[in-house]
Amino acid sequence: MKVCNDSPPYQSKVRRLLAEYAKPCTRAEDYYAPFVNTFNHALEEMKECSLPLLREIDKNEDLDIMFHRNDPKALTGIHGGLKTLRRPDVVLVAHGSAFRAAGDSARVPGMH
C-alpha cells in the first residue's frame, strides 16, 4: 500500500503523524487527537486502494467513515439481557453522522 511506503509524498506526512501519536503523554486524553489525525489520514489514503476479495465500491455511495473524538458522556444499551454503560473516547462513524452532530448540515450528504 502506497500509504505505508517509505517514500514521498507519504513519508513525511505518515512519519509526522505517527511521531506525534508516539510521543509520551501523561493523560490518556492527550492521545486522542493524534490517534484520530493519524488514522483518519490512513483511511483517506486507503480510499485509492484496490483490495482483492472486497466488493468494488460504487463511487456514488456515501460510505466515508472517520474516527471522531466522542463527547465523554455515557452511552447505555442492552447486551445479552444485561444493561451496559460505556463512555467511548474515540468512535468510528460515518462522515454524515459526525457533521450532523457538529451542526455542520452543509457537509451532510443529502441535506443541502
- The residue ranges of DSSP E strands in the chain, in sequence order, are 65-69, 75-79, 82-86, 90-94
Q: Is the pLDDT of residue 57 over 60?
A: no
User: How many angstroms separate the CA atoms of 44 and 37, rounded?
Assistant: 11
User: How many angstroms separate the CA atoms of 110 and 60, rounded?
Assistant: 12
pLDDT digits over 17-49, tens only? Answer: 888 999 999 998 898 999 999 888 888 877 776
Tell me, what's the pLDDT at 112?
Answer: 43
Name the nearest CA neighbour of 35 among 22, 23, 21, 25.
21
Name the pLDDT band for 111 (thresholds 50, 70, 90): very low
Lowest pLDDT segment from 8-22, 56-70, 88-102:
56-70
Tell me, what's the pLDDT at 53?
Answer: 61
User: How many angstroms separate the CA atoms of 45 and 51, rounded?
Assistant: 13
Tell me, what's the pLDDT at 2?
Answer: 62
Q: Partners of 77 in the beta sheet?
A: 84
Tell me, what's the pLDDT at 24?
Answer: 94
Tell me, what's the pLDDT at 82?
Answer: 93
Write down the mean pLDDT value for the chain: 77
pLDDT digits over 86-97, tens only? Answer: 888 888 888 777
